[in-house]
Each structure stands twice: as structure tokens, then as C-alpha cells.
Amino acid sequence: MDAEGITHTGTYLAAQNRGFRVNFGAHTDRSVMVYGQTEVTADLYEARDAMGGTIIAEVDGVTLNDLDTDAPFVTYLRDGTEHRIDADYIAGCDGFHGPSRQAIPKAVLREFERVYPFGWLGILSDTPPVSEELIYANHARGFALCSMRSETRSRHYIQTPVDEPLDRWSDDAFWDELRRRIPNDSAEALITGPSIEKSIAPLRSYVAEPMRWGRLFLVGDAAHIVPPTGAKGLNLAMGDVHYLSQALIAGYDGDDSMIEGYSEMALRRVWQAMRFSWWFTTTMHRFPDQTPYAQRMQESEIAHLEHSQAAQANMTEQYVGLPF
């Protein structure tokens, strides 16, 4: 990431085909890094191999056992044979659909959820980014985002109904719709090409509390989901990893206080990112039942962001990521 990532010190917001820049540099000395999530995963696998660690893949029936004792263990099936791993602690980093969260008793788990009435249709293409920084566009036809993976690979999204059939969207139809929603000068400059990946993602805000039960720690999407507006998901997961690593190091040194406090500490940060992602999603998307009043409020919010340095400072503080 340090070698290949692209540093951004601002972002563009747009409404009705006209954009303006939020300059992070005017409000903070921090920046954001653009680097593909799949590259992060590849780097982590490489690092694990370099440590001589073992990764066991393609298993079924993963079950977490005796979490509320001092001797938890995980069982799984591989090639029809059951295996068992005994552990001091279990880090549940298995995403939203994994078995870790389900292992917490229903009577203990509290869930908070908001499902948004739309999704993001995204395509990846080997075309240069239309802008050197991201463009988040609010438009009467729906939200759009111009993002990138590198100088030569772009990632673009448009808001669609969540049950939209993917085959309705040829590459040409996607590019035409994107052009209608982004600033006019960007629409003219947009270089299009064939998609190399195309998918629809639902938008959801979700938090599970607590993030620790006995010897199990929930980490990342296993405990929380944010809508992708503002790019907080993987960053939050890394925040959890940071707190958990500190807690385990202290725990093995004989101090369990951070292990006891992991859930509370991680959740403080999680709820701040929840608030930001919810606000940014609500501000930039068209809701199917949007009243004229709600519409004017949204326009006023974006105008406030354009003209108030205080509003830009507020957005910047959260966008560049809270310290941990």
C-alpha cells in the first residue's frame, strides 16, 4: 500500500451535474489512501506465508465451541474428516455471513440495523480515472460515484433499485447513465471501456453488540456493516484489529483490562463511523419516498457543505478516519 497506493488530499462532491472540491488539506494534515481491497488481502496472505503461518481453506461446518470457558475450540470438516483447533481466544473475522456472530447466544446479542431501499451497481474497467480524486454525485436520477483502483483502472458506481436485474445493464447503458449523473465537465472527459467486473451491492447499516463474548472477539464485518459511502468498512475492520492486537498483547503480559474493555472501545469508534456513513448516504442518495421537503433539506445540506468551511472541516474529520 505504501509503495503503490494513491494519496488523496481532497474529494469532489456534486449536485445536479455541478461539482465542488472539499480540500482535506485545509482542515487536517491527514490524507486518505486509495488502494484495492483485493490487494490488501493478497498482501496479508503473502505476509502470513512469510511468517510460516498455516492457512486452512475450503472447509465446511465451522463450529465455535465452549466460548464461555477458558478452553474454547473450533471444529470443521475438511474432505469429510472432522478437525479440531484448541485456542486461548478466537478472533471472529469471518464477515457478515460467517458463523462467529451466530455463536453468541440470542439472549446476549443486541442487533441494530437499517437496510437502505437501493443498491450500488458497480463496474470495474481498465480505463483511466475521470478525475484525480473521487467524485460523489447527488442527482435527481440517483447517486453516482467515480472512484479508482490505480492510474489505469477505474471503479464506478450508480444507485439502482436493490432488486435490479443485472442483465438490464449493458456496459453502454451503465456509461450513459453515469454520464447523466456526474458533473458535465467530467461527463465530457469520461473515457469508457468494457467492464471487467459488474455487480450490485445492497446498502445496509448494522451493528452487533457486544463484540466480545467469553473468549470470542468479533472483528470487522462479522460485527458491523456500513454502507460503502465514505469507504469506512475495511478501515473499521482494521481499527478492530488494532484494538484486539493491543488487548491480546496486554493479556499475555498479565493485564486483562483491555480484553475486558475490547467491545466498549471498538464500539465507540464503530458508532462514529456508523453515524458518518449514514449521514453521507442520506445526504447523497435519492430515496424512493423522498418528499419535496426532504429534497430541499438534502439540497441545503450540500449547499452548506459547498459554502461553509466549518461544514467541510466536520466532514473531513470523519472522512480521513478517526485516530485509534
Ligand X SMILES: Cc1cc2nc3c(=O)[nH]c(=O)nc-3n(C[C@H](O)[C@H](O)[C@H](O)COP(=O)(O)OP(=O)(O)OC[C@H]3O[C@@H](n4cnc5c(N)ncnc54)[C@H](O)[C@@H]3O)c2cc1C
Using CB under 6 A as the criterion, which residues of the chain lie in contact with ligand X when the complex forms? 37, 62, 93-95, 98-99, 120, 122, 201, 220-222, 228, 231-235, 237
How distant is the alpha carbon of residue 26 from its chain centre? 25
Three cell numbers, residue 267: 464500539
Identify which of 134, 109, 123, 102 has the alpha carbon closest to the alpha carbon of residue 169: 123
Q: How many CA atoms lie within 13 A of 80 on its CB side?
A: 0
Q: Please, what is the minimum distance in Å from the beta carbon of residue 150 to ligand X? A: 14
DSSP 30-45: --EEE--HHHHHHHHH
Peptide bond just before 99 cis, omega within 30 deg: no
Pick 183 or 220: Cβ nearer ligand X: 220
Q: Please, what is the minimum distance in Å from the beta carbon of residue 11 to ligand X? A: 12
Contact 121, 164 (CB under 8 A): yes
* 173 Cβ contact list (under 8 Å, min separation 6): none
Three cell numbers, residue 269: 469508534
Pick 21 or 198: Cβ nearer ligand X: 198
Pick 177 or 240: Cβ nearer ligand X: 240
**Largest CA-CA distance found in the chain, in angstroms, rounded:** 64
Pick 14 or 225: Cβ nearer ligand X: 225
Calpha distance 203→154 (Å, rounded): 21
Contact 31, 7 (CB under 8 A): yes
User: Alpha helix locations (H) across 1-140?
Assistant: 37-50, 99-102
Calpha distance 224→205 (Å, rounded): 7
Cell numbers 466549518 correspond to 310
Q: Please, what is the minimum distance in Å from the beta carbon of residue 261 to ligand X? A: 21
What residue number has its CB nearest to ligand X?
220
Q: Please, what is the minimum distance in Å from the beta carbon of residue 94 to ligand X? A: 4
Q: What is the set of active-site residues?
A: 8, 136, 228, 232, 319
The C-alpha angle 140, 144, 149, rounded to 5 degrees, equals: 175
Q: Please, what is the minimum distance in Å from the beta carbon of residue 206 to ligand X? A: 11
